[in-house]
Amino acid sequence: MADEQQVHRALRGVKHPESGLSLMELGMIRDIRVDDKQVRLTVVLPFMNVPIKDQVVNETRAAVEELSEVEGVDVELAEMTQQERVHFMAAQEKRGGSAEQFNHIQHVIAVVSGKGGVGKSLVAGLLAVALRREGHQVGVLDADITGPSIPRMFFPTQRHPDNSPLGILPVETETGIKVMSINLLLPREDEAVIWRGPLISTAIKQFWGDVVWGSLDYLVVDLPPGTADASLTVMQAIPLDGVVLVTSPQGLAAMVVRKAARMVRTMGVPILGVVENMSYVVCPDTGRQLEIFGPSKAETMTAQLGVPLLGRLPIDPQIAQLCDEGRIEEYQSEAFAAIAHRLAETAPQPSR
């Protein structure tokens, strides 16, 4: 009768046809079960329609069938979770940041819009502030390499990170939020980053693996608009626990955000909910809420996507002033505190 250790040893010799690495090393074998002389196991693929699927299954089955104690092998197929896919991509590229092994991050939440101009970075910044006020250790990774705005929200003057033997040290805000952005590395904040996709992807990976984040309860990742290289890199290279979608009342914004939602689900990342920004403005004289961009479409969108509506945020001139002055941490918002509290309660437990 074969045992699981014998099956493990047999499978170490099965190589990925493209990288030459062991399927075991790539995390592609799951749930090995031995029942007398029958072996059952699951092969997990980054995506179910990869062209090497049949070859991987056949070679896996053949390797186990070579064991003299085995009379039958049942191979099931499954698609990797987003976090398994991150491990797979990291092993394929044989990468690993200098600081990654020293970081311990409980939850990684990305803020996504798909469309520019809806206040995605503002929501990311406010989310970090609200989580910090609840007593959590928080960091912000600005993955918008060509259009970074996070540092201007948090720092009145330009700041630069320090280096350490372990890696780059993020810059800390007044309340202790750790921030890393390409703008913190530039000689001037208005210096243009004129990079193609591969360089942008490399920078994002370094912000994850070469930055000494230390122990964090939450790392908030601010993604750029769109569904191209930068967003794909984040979802392939960083083990996300979930995504917050940001939209505004305009129908055009809702349509583009639905595209982002499709991308997120294609990559296997949970959607934690939707925040509608710029939903209304409060008239200072009467307190009446004016929907100056039209009626809210948030409830319709969340019903279509099957995800919760986390909240609707107003247009507030004070927040614009505070962000321009690098004082976002001084902004008080009961609406956003409720959103952050809801996320803190519902965020999935990390598997890493």
Q: H or E stretch including 106?
A: strand 104-112
* Other C-beta atoms lying within 10 Å of the C-beta of residue 96: 12
Span 4-80 CATH architecture: 2-Layer Sandwich (3.30)
DSSP symbol at 352 = -
Domain ranges of the chain: 4-80, 98-346
Which residue's structure tokens are 């970074």? Answer: 148
**pLDDT tens sequence across 276-321:** 999 999 888 888 999 988 898 889 889 999 999 999 999 998 998 9
Task: Please check whether the two domains, 4-80 and 98-346, share a CATH topology.
Answer: no
Is residue 337 within 8 Å of residue 135, measured between CB atoms?
no
- CA–CA separation, 312 vs 280, rounded Å? 8
User: Binning pLDDT at 50, 70 and 90, where does residue 136 land?
Assistant: very high
User: Binning pLDDT at 50, 70 and 90, where does residue 40 land?
Assistant: very high
- Chain Cα centroid distance, residue 67: 41
- CA–CA separation, 340 vs 141, rounded Å? 17
**pLDDT tens sequence across 105-124:** 999 999 998 788 888 999 99
98-346 belongs to which homologous superfamily?
A: P-loop containing nucleotide triphosphate hydrolases (3.40.50.300)
Mean pLDDT, residues 234-262: 89
DSSP symbol at 33 = E
Question: What DSSP line would sit under 108-177, residue for residue?
Answer: EEEEE-SSTTS-HHHHHHHHHHHHHHTT--EEEEE--SSS--HHHHH-SS---PEE-SSSEEPEE-TT--
Q: H or E stretch including 57?
A: helix 53-65
Is residue 311 within 8 Å of residue 267, measured between CB atoms?
no
Q: Quick check: 177 pLDDT over 60?
A: yes
| The model's pTM | 0.78
- CA–CA separation, 230 vs 143, rounded Å? 7
Per-residue model confidence (pLDDT) at position 37: 84
